Structures are given as C-alpha cells and as structure tokens.
Amino acid sequence: MTSREKAEELITKFMPHSGGNPNNNEAKECALIAANEMIRFINREGNLASFLYWQQVKKEIEKV
C-alpha cells in the first residue's frame, strides 16, 4: 500500500467517529495522531524503512 493510500485509509476509518463529514478536520487530526504514534513506536524499534514510510504517510495526511 502506498503512503497516499494508507493516509486516505486512516482518514476514512476515522470519519465515522468524527461526525462523518468529509470536510471535518477531526478525522484528519485523528489520522495524524495515529501516524505520529506509529512513528514514535517504530523510531524506538530502529526500523528505518518503516519509519520513513510512516513519515511519508504523515506528509500525505497533511496534504489532504
């Protein structure tokens, strides 16, 4: 799955929990929180490829 696809998937998964409005930034904020948590966890594990992937996912979420 590309970083763009993962970003869209995360936002879509959080949409029902944020009022279901696609213009609502709550789903995006929740997706950013999830991505940041993954980045923090992976950074501790030292997996560079996964770290870079989740950094890119975060950038894609911010673009949406």
Query: What pLDDT was estimated at residue 18?
Result: 81
User: Radius of gyration of the chain from Cα atoms?
Assistant: 12
pLDDT digits (tens, 9 = 90+) for 29-64: 999 999 999 999 998 888 899 999 999 999 999 998
Cβ–Cβ < 8 Å for 9, 60: no
Query: What pLDDT was estimated at residue 45?
Result: 82
Assessment of whether the complete model's pTM goes beyond 0.85: yes
Query: What pLDDT was estimated at residue 22?
Result: 67
- Rounded to an integer, what distance in angstroms lies between the CA atom of residue 39 and that of residue 23? 26
- Rounded to an integer, what distance in angstroms lies between the CA atom of residue 49 and that of residue 62? 20
Three-state SS at 41:
helix
